[in-house]
Homo-oligomer: A and B are copies of this chain.
Amino acid sequence: MKQSKLFYKTYKESIHSEDSLNAQLLIRGGFIEKVGSGLYNFLPLGLKVLEKIKRIIREELNKIGCQEISLINLHPIEYWQITKRIDKFDILFKTKSHNGIEYILAPTHEEIIFPLVKKIISSYKDLPLALYQINLKYRDELRAKAGLLRNREFLMKDLYSFHINDEDLEKFKSLVDKTYLKIFKLCGLRAILTLASGGTFSKFSTEFQVPTLSGEDEIYYCENCNQAWNKEIIKTSKCDHCKKKLDIIKSIEVGNTFNLGTKFSKDFELFYLDKFNKKKYVLAGCYGIGISRLLGAIVEVNNDKYGIVWPSNIAPFRAHLLLLQYSNKKINLKLIKLANKIYQFLTNNNIETLFDDRTDVSNGQKFVESDLIGIPYKVIIGESSLNEELEIKLRNNNKIFKVKINNLLKCLK
C-alpha cells in the first residue's frame, strides 16, 4: 500500500476526549476514529490488525474442531423472556418494529444458539459440538470508557460447546483454556489464567487477565504457579497450591470461559437421547474473547514513548518502506526509482509493505509517523542505499542494521 493513497491521518498532539492510552495511540496513529461515547470506526490500518487477530482465532479454534457460524443480532424478545435474563441484564439495548415486534440487540447469543442447536441435534452421537462466531455485540454500558476496552458496540468471538456430561464439558473447557493462552501469546500478550466466580451457572469460571497498570480488574497472582484468583473469590492471601504469598496485580480481562451447566438447556428443553434412548439435558459451556477489547489491551501493553510497537503476528504491515528525500534532485530521482523497485520486490514476495512514497513530507516527519504507527521493520531508502545497501530499523528496540538488497527478504522473514 502506498501511504500517499492510504486513508488515515496521524495526530502529533494528544486527543483531549480520550482518557486511555489505547485510544490515544490508536486514534493518533490513524487506526480508529471516535463517533460517540463507546463507539469507534475502524480505518484501514485498524481493520487490518482486527483481521489478523480474527485469522489467528479462527485457525486455533478450527484446529480443536470448532465450527464457525453467524447468528442474528436482532433477538425477538420472547427468547429473552424464556431465560428470564431480560430483567437481570441492565445493559440491554431494545428496539421495536413498526408492526410491534420487540427485539433485544444481542449482548450475547445463548438465547439464539440454544434454540438453533435444539433444531439440529437429537442424539449422543451428535455430541460433543462446538460452534463459534465472530460478530458484533451491543451493550448499553452506563459509562463506556477506556477506549476500546468498554464499548457500546464491539466485536466479539463467542464460542458455545455442547456435551453429554460435565466431565466431557470440563475436558473441552480445559482445551479451550489452553487454546486461549496460545491465541493471546500469538497476539503478543501474556495472559494469566485466573479463577473467578462462575456466576449463577457453576462454581468457577476462568478469566484471562493481562497484567497492566491501566487495568480496571485486580487479581491475586502466584508467580510460582503462574495462576491467579479474581478478588471476588479470594479467601486468603496465599496460593491454594504452593502457599506462596500472592501478588496483587492490576489487569485487563481479554477472555473468559464458563461452564453453563444445564441452565439454558433447561430453559429451551435441549435434550439428547443417550445410548439407552433416555432423554437427558445437554451440558454446555460458553467462551468469549472480546476482539476489539483485545486490540485495546494489546496496545496498552505494546507501546513506548514514540507510539505503538505491534507484535509481529498482528502488525498491519510487516515492513514500512521509507523513501527519504534530499536537497540534491538527482539523488532524489534515483531514490524514488530504487524505492519503487524495492516496493515491487517486497509485495511480489508477499511481504506486506506500507510504502511511504510521499515527497512533500520531511524525513523527520516520516520517522515520527512511522514510530507512531508501529510497523515492526522500517526499510530506509536513503543516500547510502545507492550502494546496494539498505538500513533496517527495528521498531521494538530501535536497533539499526545494514543489509545488502539481495539479503533483504531473508532479514524480513
Contacts and interface: CB of A to CB of B under 8 A. Distances in A.
A73 B5 contact: no
Contacts of A8: 120
Nearest to A1: B67
Nearest to A111: B35
Nearest to A135: B136
A112 B153 CA distance: 15
A73 B136 CA distance: 9
Interface of A: 5-9, 33, 35-37, 39-44, 46-47, 50, 65, 67-76, 90, 93-99, 101, 103, 105, 112, 115-116, 119-120, 129, 131, 136, 138, 140, 142, 152-153
10 contacts: A7-B129, A9-B119, A33-B119, A33-B120, A39-B72, A43-B69, A72-B153, A74-B93, A95-B105, A105-B105
A42 B67 contact: no
A74 B5 CA distance: 28
A76 to B, nearest CB: 5
A234 B101 CA distance: 38
A36 B80 CA distance: 14
B98 A142 contact: yes
B41 A152 contact: no
A213 B37 CA distance: 47
* A interface majority secondary structure: mixed
Given A47-B68, A72-B153, A131 B42 contact: no
Given A37-B101, A69-B42, A153 B74 contact: yes
Contact of A97 (B74, B93, B129): B93
A191 to B, nearest CB: 25
Contacts of A44: 67-69
B112 A41 contact: yes
A99 B36 contact: no
B70 A138 contact: no
A41 B72 contact: yes
Given A112-B41, A120-B7, A138 B74 contact: yes
A46 B71 CA distance: 11
Contacts of A46: 70
A95 B98 contact: no
B33 A116 contact: yes
A270 B46 CA distance: 23
Nearest to A99: B142
Which of A6, A70, A90, A96 counts the most chain B CB atoms within 10 A? Answer: A70
Contact of A153 (B73, B115, B140): B73
B74 A41 contact: no
**9 closest A-B pairs by CB:** A42-B70, A9-B120, A95-B95, A36-B76, A93-B95, A44-B67, A39-B72, A97-B140, A74-B153
B33 A74 contact: no
Given A6-B67, A33-B120, A41-B72, 8 more contacts: A7-B67, A7-B131, A35-B112, A36-B101, A39-B72, A93-B96, A93-B97, A136-B136
Contacts of A96: 93
B41 A69 contact: yes
A76 B152 contact: no
A356 to B, nearest CB: 15
A299 B36 CA distance: 40
A403 B408 CA distance: 46
A46 B5 CA distance: 35
Contacts of A101: 36-37
Nearest to A106: B153
Contacts of A36: 74, 76, 101
A3 to B, nearest CB: 12
A291 to B, nearest CB: 11
